[in-house]
Structure 1
Amino acid sequence: MKSLLLSLSFLIGMHVAFAQVGTINGMLISTNAPLANINIKLAGSSRTIKSNSEGSFQLSGLSYGSYVLSFSGIGYETKTLKVSLNSPVINVTAEMAPANANLSEVVVTGVNRATELRKSPIPIAVLSKKAMEQNGGTNLIESIVKGVAGVTAVTTGPNVSKPFIRGLGYNRVLTLYDGLRQEGQQWGDEHGIEVDEYGISRVEVVKGPASLSYGSDAVAGVINMIPAKPNFLDRQLNGDFSTNYQSNNGLFGASLGLGYAINNWKFTLRATTKAAHNYENKIDGLVFGTAFKEYNLSASARLDGNWGFTKTAVTYYDNKMEIPDGSRDSLSRRFTRQVLDTGDDIKNRPVVDEADLDRYVINPLHQRIQHFRFYNNSQFKFKSSDLNLLIGAQQSVRREYNHPTAPGQAGLYVVLNTLNYDLKYNLPEFAGIESTAGINGMYQTNRSREATDFPIPDYNLFDVGGFYFAKRTLGKVAVSGGLRIDRRTINWPDFYVGTDPLTGFGKQSTVNDAAADLQFPAFKKAYYGVSGSVGLTYNVSEKVLLKANLARGYRAPNITEIGSNGLDPGAHIVYLGNRTFKPEFNLQEDIGVMVNLHDADFSLEVFNNDIQNYIFQSRLTDVNGNPVVIVPGNLTYQYQQAKARLYGVEVAANLHPSNIKWLSFNHSFAYVVGLNKSEELLRAHGKQAKYLPFIPPLQIRSEVKVTAQQPIGFLASPYFKADVAIFADQNKFYALDNTETFTKGYTLFNAGMGASFRARSGKVVADLFVQVDNIFNIAYQSNLNRLKYFEYYQSSPNGKSGIYNMGRNFSFKLIIPF
């Protein structure tokens, strides 16, 4: 018996020793892009792994035979794959399809862990690169406005768009680039977001107070612009070349992006240029002073490992754009130009030559915005937690040249330096609770250089805040919330302004100059804020979702609101601040319902926003009601503070019949009302002061889209779409002192088409997007167009006042990947 047992043991051992085992190497992709953090499960076992940052995975030590692999991940449809392992190593590739409903989109904005939209009570919208390409637009913010209900923009021509969310803008909307808060003198009306639009692959928009995660300046919401990354292949150079042309202002743009990977290192480089002459409409013709030239350069290096990752990146933005002032000849309505400093009469300037209106040469009167950004974003993984560290340095250089007799002399020349820090720790899960604790803030200095106008003082700012955020899922209910405490200090010394005896212009001076004026007396103050949120989502079923959220936001007054006292040449406005202002606090309630059916998606969001100490601009008038003119040819605005309330509704309906897959209908409706709750102003001025300034009117957008389900020759996924955008009359405006006037509604018709060009191998060799906006060349004025108020006459021969928005515009964009 003993011998028999020994023989059986030997035979079993020999069988095991010579048993054939192998390895499955796999790659997960979606639209040719690698997919990271996808769950791979081996059917019939408890073995589960995740794909790495390059989309690859490995299952080793498997006996020869047949296996079933299951792939699942947030934002993608679950996929199964049968695999026959009959050699030592086999390679498989699986392509996963994005989930039809955007409720499965992964977001990281406004929260601190990757989160499904389905589980977030905070209203969040996600816009992909392809959606932005198909939307078209004269700049990145305009593309976002077209794609996200509730987002609008204050504009100064086609190159300057300041985002508003649900009627709130300026410093109340926090813009992020790759998670780093954007600091670039954003208090100004007349320059936009310093970001390369060609290098953005995704935008996430939080609609509502997000101060919990970010502190001050996020009371309206957050727009996070996430840079694109190539499809990295080890030791292969790849990337894309993009070019764009727009007919209305002759815009030409070109961008080259490169990517290279070696082992665990990934490198990117992108260079972009854009140029345009003045834009045009049928009322004003070519609008003098709206040409621009823009250059962008960015690079990054990232190292991935089992311990996490670290990424270092640098960006450079350089934009020269003209300064429009709207001065005209009273009879012909042709635009005029300023040629004098002393003795300039805005109503008696020479007319601009026609040949100068469609040139790409930038006028001597222009502004130059430069922005430098250097940052490192790192994540360190532990057994059941991770630490995220973001450190960034930014410099914004803003020069505005407004002296025609001395074109090399800047009227405004300010340099803003900012150091950002952000530390977040995602704690181990405990009792089903996922939580995050963090601290973030910034140190900032602003200095004037060799300028002649000084609208703000040289100030120092230090900001710090700490928070705790937690979420838990209890069956069909997901609950989340948190608390934050902030402190911001602002200070500046006495700031004197005198007169340069050689030029007659203003100059920064000292207390020792007897002729100098103390324009900004010394100031020091600390602002404190407590913010937080609590919300829940309830999955009534897989098809119906209810959301509710209550959030308190906090915003310290910005530098112009408390410290301004002078002319901003680029805005043509003299700003007057008030150093006694208190911080803004808002309390917003959001209720929403989302329905995800087989053939349609519906959403309804209702919000109410009560604001304490709301700060807004109002024109300054004297006791007789006449406009106060401190600098001839420039308006004077004084900041006010009062209670306010905003409320509104947003509705979206997307129809995609399953039996007619090539057809879809997308509709959205957005409406917001902003009420001024200042009892003093309402008693004195009644209806004129009833509403808040610069609130967007009711908007309806409706689109029909046809997309081929099969390739047509060498064309893959060709599409055609047509849409209509309806803007109602805005008769709910802040009319006091003619700060705003009635704005007539208008309807714009747009259309677009495009396709991917594929080689015989199936590889995409180019993507083409064609868009035409304002097909019927409608003459209209948006109430958020600053140029509407650039008018110096009580009446005109054609009965039109101010400057109109852009007319018909064809846009052609070609992207060539390689």
Structure 2
Amino acid sequence: MRLFLNTLLLLAITNIYSQSSIKGSVMDAHTNEGLAFVNIYITDLEKGTTTNENGMFQIDNIPSGKHTMQVSIIGYETQSINIFIPNSNDFTIRLMPSAIEMEGVIISTPFHKLQSENVMKVEQESVKNLKASGAVNLADGISNIAGVESVTTGLSIGKPVIRGLSSNRVLVYAQGVRLENQQFGAEHGLGISDNGIESIEVIKGPASLLYGSDALGGVLYLNPERFAPTNTSAGDFGGTYFSNTKGYNTNAGFKSSEDHFKFLFRGSLTEHSDYKTNDYRVTNTRFREQDFKAGIGYQDQGFKTEFRYNVNHSKLGIPEDIGEQSILRTPLLPFQEITNHVFSSKSTVYLNNSRLDINLGYIYNDRKEFEEHHHDEEEEEEHEEDEDEDEVLEAALHMKLKTANYDVKYHLPTLGKFETIVGMQGMNQVNTNYGEETLIPDATTNDFGILGVSHVHFDKTDLQLGVRYDNRHINIQSGAIQKSFNSFNGAAGIKTNIAKNIITRINLSTGFRAPNLAELTSDGTHEGTNRYEIGNPDLKNEQNFQSDINFEFKNEHVEFFVNGFYNKVNNYIFLSPDGTVIEGDPVFVYLQDDARLYGGEVGLHIHPHPLDWLHIESSFETVTGKQKNDAYLPLIPANSISNIIRVEFEKTWLKQGYAFLKLKSTFTQNNVGVFETDTAGYSLLSAGLGGTFSLFKNEATITLSGTNLTNVTYINHLSRLKPDGIFNMGRNINIGITYQ
């Protein structure tokens, strides 16, 4: 690996070309009038500017080679333009008016294209829009994305579910590196704040070709906040109040960029008391989260690099039953105290029509769990007073997970119609226990993978092909167990314009997941589930094959899409009782069987002429999961349908104004796993409005939204509080303001 990397760096040093500037104008395609404030952004450089009042722009210090320039503004179709430095220097760009929302460049796929140009169907949504819809936090917000839900424990703990698959079957990326935070655990949330995150992308289906093990079910990719445009500075602060939890989310940030250096930072504080249903407050769903993000970047002479750091500290109550009714914010026992440190560096060396990307990451996850201790009666009498305080200070469960990973990709020079990337990825992970309880043993995990992927361009058709090999080696200290898992995976996709406004995508892909430490080594009572779990060291890789088809029709006023998938998972790992009892708890063992999941999403978006300010949206999503014996898989989301009416408006005193009304109906889920019960259907009504106005010569944005406005008492099928009959959150009104 070191020889390979050094060779590529040597090539970089000897092939760097001089830098150039690009300039141009952007105008309306119908009127030929210059457009002001158009966003010009070179995606691989993460560098951009905006047009002046005459529609003119200029960007300096562009390294030689091929780049992609994105041109976007509300009310016009987004354009993606390939530029070749030093050959391309002057541009005249004409944008077509459109009521369709601006497209964003997809970062989670290898070639960084607009979604309309992408061979894979990837969902993308801005965090700003998710917050405006009433989302309390990141786990709550992602459930607004088609095909995505969350397994939740109260309000503070949530983990993504993509088309019925979750936990170690879904990989989360933040700051360009894989986020590792003991995600195998049912009560282990994301451990990351939505403050300082710009957008979310979701790959729905096997992404092992791009990301290796644990991406069998898909990827949740969190794009961090962008740096400021060159030679500009910006600061903002704001907050949101939540009526249901008497909670708040405050944050402040600043960023500045010069020709070569750029930096940013953002800090936030969030606190919530127990959430309220129509009948009661759910005891110990309270939590507190502190988050700080910072980044610094440098670019010069065919080289750019950036370093980002995020520390997130949270104290999360773990709800057990309905008890104390209060609006206090300090968690009761049991509670988690989690600190996540994420260090990442992202560097690119630009060569002659090619480039080398080097991403490095280090994640330090410190997880503590505090709970009521049980002692002998005699011991309690002797030390009752002394131990009252110690119980709170000493963690029953304390694990540290340290993960270092690397991702090196070389973009070969374009050869005719072929764009090709080769690369290697790896991870070293060490889990260590410090508490009196051991959930999983001390162990070291090492991953290594190599891949190659090509994008082939034709006039109306694009192909994407790729192959990959992976090895995972696990060294478990207790019992001196060593396990190795290997897998070859591939993907093939085609996108074609079968008519002027119709796009069809077909993707075939495989993925794999090596068993996690809990599945291999568990031997003890799993708190909160009342079962004794026994691992299986003979488990094999989960291996899947998924076929996806996507059909899209889009013109100036109507959008329609259909997504369908069929996912076959061999050696699916699941828990099953063996009929015995240990320490009063039933024994569950890990077994494997083949499984299949199928379903999809359908959506319609109408913005009728001449009422371009009016948007009518409707979408339906469904997924079914079964084992080989036709028994249903657990934790499969219920079918649902969403209907939204949204208006957008501009006034002299109010910019980017909007209002919406949303009704989401979730159907009865009676296709349940062996240990689950049926869940009744329900409908939730939401509404909101907002906009931007001038305040003291700067911009202020205000949002007002309400969720579950009719205060329905309901239980989501993916709520871990469901077995106790505890309802999800009732009516909540959010009001937020941000000042630039």
Q: When the two structures are superposed, what TM-score results if normalisation uses the length of structure 1?
A: 0.78
CA displacement, residues 578-599 of structure 1 (integer Å, 9 cap, x when unaligned): 1111000110011111000221
Distance in 1, matches of 2:282 and 2:47, equals: 52
- The SS at the match of 1:217 is coil
1:660 lines up with 2:660 in the alignment: no
Distance in 2, matches of 1:107 and 1:24, equals: 23
Compute the displacement of 1:225 (Å): 0.5
Name the structure 2 match of 1:439: 424
Contact 2:39 2:71 in 1 (8 A): no
Question: Structure 1: which amino acid aligns with 2:328?
Answer: R
Distance in 2, matches of 1:51 and 1:201, equals: 13
Name the structure 2 match of 1:781: 715
Compute the displacement of 1:142 (Å): 1.7
Name the structure 1 match of 2:118: 120
Compute the displacement of 1:36 (Å): 2.0
Name the structure 2 match of 1:13: none
Name the structure 2 match of 1:622: 579
For residues 439-478 of structure 1, the aligned pairs below 5 Å read 439-449=424-434, 451-478=435-462
- The SS at the match of 1:171 is helix
Compute the displacement of 1:280 (Å): 1.1
For residue 636 of structure 2, the aligned residue among 691, 695, 699 is 695
Distance in 1, matches of 2:160 and 2:59, equals: 48
Distance in 2, matches of 1:541 and 1:584, equals: 39
Name the structure 2 match of 1:10: none
Distance in 2, matches of 1:220 and 1:51, equals: 29
- The SS at the match of 1:561 is helix
For residue 804 of structure 1, the aligned residue among 710, 727, 733 is 727
CA displacement, residues 679-709 of structure 1 (integer Å, 9 cap, x when unaligned): xxx6xxxxxxx1001101111011001111x
For residue 671 of structure 1, the aligned residue among 607, 616, 622 is 622
CA displacement, residues 163-200 of structure 1 (integer Å, 9 cap, x when unaligned): 01111111111110122110111111213112221111
1:744 lines up with 2:729 in the alignment: no
Distance in 2, matches of 1:97 and 1:274, equals: 42
Change (3 A) 1:195 1:94: farther
CA displacement, residues 506-539 of structure 1 (integer Å, 9 cap, x when unaligned): xxxxxxxxxxxxxxx3311100011110010110
Contact 2:40 2:70 in 1 (8 A): no
Distance in 2, matches of 1:784 and 1:720, equals: 30
For residue 328 of structure 2, the aligned residue among 359, 366, 386 is 359
Name the structure 2 match of 1:277: 273
Change (3 A) 1:636 1:773: farther
Distance in 1, matches of 2:536 and 2:264, equals: 46
Compute the displacement of 1:438 (Å): 0.6
Change (3 A) 1:446 1:97: farther
Compute the displacement of 1:93 (Å): 13
Name the structure 2 match of 1:715: 654
Name the structure 1 match of 2:42: 37
Name the structure 1 match of 2:311: 316
Contact 2:43 2:70 in 1 (8 A): yes
Question: Structure 2: which amino acid aligns with 1:593?
Answer: F
Change (3 A) 1:78 1:720: closer
Distance in 2, matches of 1:654 and 1:297, equals: 38
Name the structure 2 match of 1:348: none
For residue 296 of structure 2, the aligned residue among 301, 307, 311 is 301
Change (3 A) 1:775 1:472: same
Name the structure 2 match of 1:815: 738
Distance in 1, matches of 2:335 and 2:35, equals: 45
Question: Structure 2: which amino acid aligns with 1:716?
Answer: K
Q: When the two structures are superposed, what TM-score results if normalisation uses the length of structure 2?
A: 0.86
Question: Structure 2: which amino acid aligns with 1:134?
Answer: A
- The SS at the match of 1:281 is coil
Name the structure 2 match of 1:252: 248
Change (3 A) 1:629 1:51: closer
Contact 2:271 2:329 in 1 (8 A): yes
Distance in 2, matches of 1:747 and 1:286, equals: 21
Change (3 A) 1:31 1:218: farther
For residues 121-520 of structure 1, the aligned pairs below 5 Å read 121-146=119-144, 148-232=145-229, 234=231, 237-283=233-279, 285-326=280-321, 335-336=322-323, 352=324, 354=325, 357-403=326-372, 405=388, 406-449=391-434, 451-494=435-478
Figure out how many residues of one structure are paired with residues of the other and give that number: 673
Change (3 A) 1:75 1:124: farther
CA displacement, residues 380-429 of structure 1 (integer Å, 9 cap, x when unaligned): 11111110001111100100001355222211100000001000011111
Contact 1:279 1:806 in 2 (8 A): yes
Question: Structure 1: which amino acid aligns with 2:625?
Answer: G
Compute the displacement of 1:298 (Å): 1.3
Which segment drifts farther, 369-378 or 752-761? Answer: 752-761
1:547 lines up with 2:488 in the alignment: no
Name the structure 1 match of 2:9: none
Distance in 1, matches of 2:245 and 2:92, equals: 46
Change (3 A) 1:289 1:38: closer
Change (3 A) 1:240 1:98: farther
Name the structure 2 match of 1:794: none
Distance in 1, matches of 2:455 and 2:166, equals: 29
Contact 1:412 1:569 in 2 (8 A): no
- Greater C-alpha Rg: 1
Identify unmatched segments of 5+ residues in structure 1: 1-22, 40-49, 61-70, 81-91, 327-334, 337-351, 495-520, 683-689, 792-801
Change (3 A) 1:51 1:209: closer
RMSD: 2.9
Change (3 A) 1:569 1:94: farther
Compute the displacement of 1:38 (Å): 8.9
CA displacement, residues 540-569 of structure 1 (integer Å, 9 cap, x when unaligned): 133001110100011111111112223454
Contact 1:544 1:596 in 2 (8 A): yes
Contact 2:48 2:230 in 1 (8 A): no
Identify unmatched segments of 5+ residues in structure 2: 1-20, 27-33, 52-56, 61-67, 80-90, 374-387
Identity %: 30
